[in-house]
Amino acid sequence: MFLKTLAIDLLDFFFPNLCAGCEGHLVRGEEGLCIGCLLTMPVTGFEKDPENPVMKQFWGKVPVAAAMAYCHFSKGGKMQRLIHHLKYKNRPDIGVKMGQLCAHQLHGATMYSSAQVVVPIPLHPNKQRLRGYNQAASFGRGLAQVLRIPHLENAFSDERTHPRKPVRADLSVHRMYRVYLKCRI
């Protein structure tokens, strides 16, 4: 037991396990984020407000039953560092951890209590090859674990279509995608 602890401590000395939020050293039992970062997470509280700013972004554009943001984002802030680790430093564990934390926030919110499945947004194949994984899928895994609902990572396929003109000026895109459900939910 002593030798195992010594080996772990030596390994940690040469290859320190750092918090993705503040880059401080993690202690035993901490995974991905330190307790300080967990306690100071810039949580929005939007899950309790059906008229939150994220929901308002969709009004008059597309029908959405519920929408929210888990945390506030600020340039140079904790969330930007976490997203950077998730996207560019091969840290899918950060996505899972953030999904778990978000799911704990959703437990008391009635707007999300009827959720039956988590289906992450597919990542463009080129981006998936570049990054090695879908960040939305890792976040979805964390959500699904805590909410105890299925996580369907490969539920959708896309068929590229090229419309002659955009559907709306504010949704102008070079390529439109039609999404099809591949399996029965």
Q: pTM for this structure?
A: 0.78
* Residues 85/94, Cβ–Cβ less than 8 Å: yes
Which range marks the domain in which residue 50 is found?
17-156
**For residues 4 and 151, what is the distance between their CA atoms, to the nearest angstrom?**
36
- The string of pLDDT tens digits covering residues 33-77 is 999 999 999 999 999 999 999 999 999 988 888 899 999 999 999
* Residue 3 in domain: no
* Residue 9 in domain: no
* Residue 10 in domain: no
- The string of pLDDT tens digits covering residues 111-160 is 888 888 998 888 888 888 888 899 999 999 999 999 999 998 877 655 55
* Residue 59 in domain: yes
* Residue 76 in domain: yes
**For residues 78 and 95, what is the distance between their CA atoms, to the nearest angstrom?**
14
* Residue 166 in domain: no
What φ, ψ does residue 95 adopt, rounded to 5°? -60, -45
**For residues 18 and 25, what is the distance between their CA atoms, to the nearest angstrom?**
5
